[in-house]
């Protein structure tokens, strides 16, 4: 019998349960019949694509940023992140012939995403909706649909829909480029190993009374830094700023001191190598650094080690899990209920 989690009142129980469900969700995605994905890819491979546009909001915006890295590196196509207000607020109707439009939305109900996707379709784009709902206005507005397959998500803070959408977009782009989907079968096992890391509780205890924090990374892990900052803001009500490591070394570096912890997500591969000068400067600054991931011989005040069994492109699906746990544990230690953040709803309506 499936437990009805809506009747449990313990703060954070929904978020905790949905974080724990992620290995199962990822295994389901990897094991699902690939024919719907194959059919979608056939459309893409027969399409004269000159560019890709990605539309999303909130957590899904970080998924879209991840997809941008995937498409630029695997397909070598120009990719843009859409400003939906140019369609909904300014009434712009560009010629999008030869453009693939991918809109990511957990609910598929945000009016600005629905309207801009419909406008893109009328402008000649091949439109794809990536949603977690069996039927939605966004799915109706688009020509093609890719389900996230995360199952119902009840907590306001998105967790399993984020990792599910990363996995689905990795599958989509990899199949589109003619790549091998087999590595995706290992993700759920690595995700399960990342669920209960004792170091997360140590970091949560260290930062319990922190009001300001910075998250940073490079490459495929940069969306992880942005998603981690969002989770910390919406569940713990602290001021969390996410920067690319390259941008951090410009103006924002002036605000770094020992009272503003910096969470550095260090991926394997080129992304981790690009962070070397950032870590050097943070060490010189005397910053309170928390290293997450493949940390090598680097020293830091605290660290959250992660399994290094995944290639850099797949690593973001696992990197975010201990940071979701950190947001949950910090929120509970501050006597907040992360399932019901102040003033937030599951579906945000914007125009």
pLDDT in tens, 199-254: 999 999 999 999 999 999 999 999 999 999 999 999 999 999 999 999 998 888 88
- Collapsing DSSP states into helix, strand and coil, what is residue 289? strand
Q: How confident is the model at residue 2 (pLDDT cuts 50, 70, 90)?
A: very low
Buried (b) or exposed (e) across 237-253, using 16+ Cβ within 10 A?
ebebbbbbbeebbeeeb
Of 216, 283, 215, 205, the closest CA to residue 245 belongs to 216
pLDDT at 87 over 60: yes
Q: Do domains 8-188 and 193-333 have the same CATH topology?
A: yes
List Cβ neighbours of 1 (8 Å cut-off, separation of 6 or more).
Answer: none
Asked if CATH classification 2.60.40.10 holds for the domain at 193-333, the reply, yes or no, is: no
Tell me the C-alpha distance between 336 and 201, whole Å. 16
Q: How confident is the model at residue 105 (pLDDT cuts 50, 70, 90)?
A: very high
Report the distance separating Cα 301 and Cα 303, nearest Å.
7
pLDDT of residue 1: 40
> Mean of the per-residue pLDDT values for the chain?
91
| 161 close to 21: Cβ distance less than 8 angstroms | no
Q: Does domain 8-188 have CATH number 3.40.50.10490?
A: yes
Distance of CA 123 to the CA centre of its chain: 28
What is the pLDDT confidence band of residue 3, given thresholds at 50, 70 and 90?
A: very low
Domain edges within the chain: 8-188, 193-333
Q: What whole-number distance in Å separates Cα of residue 5 and Cα of residue 13?
A: 8
| Paired strand residues for 177 | none
The H or E element that residue 271 is part of is helix 270-274
- The residues with which 266 forms a beta bridge, in sequence order, are 293
From 2-11, 85-94, 163-172, 221-230, the region with the lowest mean pLDDT? 2-11
């Amino acid at each position: 019998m499936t437990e009805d989690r809506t009747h449990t009142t313990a703060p954070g129980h929904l978020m905790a349960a949905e974080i724990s469900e992620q290995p199962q969700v990822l295994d389901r995605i990897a094991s699902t019949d690939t024919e719907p994905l194959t059919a979608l890819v056939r459309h893409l491979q027969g399409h004269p694509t000159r560019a890709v546009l990605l539309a999303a909001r909130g957590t899904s915006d970080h998924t879209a940023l991840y997809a941008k890295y995937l498409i630029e590196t695997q397909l070598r196509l120009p990719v843009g992140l859409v400003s939906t207000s140019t369609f909904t607020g300014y009434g712009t109707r560009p010629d999008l012939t030869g453009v693939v439009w991918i809109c990511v939305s957990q609910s598929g109900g945000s009016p600005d995403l629905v309207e801009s996707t419909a406008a893109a379709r009328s402008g000649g784009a091949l439109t794809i909706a990536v949603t977690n709902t069996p039927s939605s206005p966004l799915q109706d507005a688009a020509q093609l649909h890719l389900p996230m397959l995360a199952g119902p998500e009840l907590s306001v803070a998105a967790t399993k829909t984020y990792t599910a959408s990363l996995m689905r977009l990795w599958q989509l782009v990899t199949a589109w480029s003619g790549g091998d989907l087999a590595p995706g079968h290992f993700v759920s096992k690595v995700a399960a190993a990342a669920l209960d890391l004792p170091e997360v509780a140590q970091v949560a205890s260290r930062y319990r009374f922190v009001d300001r924090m910075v998250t940073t990374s490079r490459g495929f892990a940069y969306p992880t830094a942005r998603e981690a900052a969002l989770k910390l803001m919406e569940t713990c009500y602290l001021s969390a700023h996410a920067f690319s490591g390259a941008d951090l070394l410009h103006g924002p570096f002036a605000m770094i001191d020992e009272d503003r912890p910096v969470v550095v997500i260090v991926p394997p591969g080129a992304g981790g190598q690009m962070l070397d000068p950032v870590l050097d400067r943070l060490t010189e600054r005397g910053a309170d650094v928390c290293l997450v991931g493949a940390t090598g011989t680097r020293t830091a005040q605290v660290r959250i080690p992660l399994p290094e069994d995944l290639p850099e492109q797949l690593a973001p699906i696992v990197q975010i899990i201990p940071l979701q746990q950190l947001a949950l544990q910090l929120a509970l230690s501050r006597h907040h209920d992360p399932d019901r953040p102040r003033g937030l709803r599951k579906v945000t309506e914007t125009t």
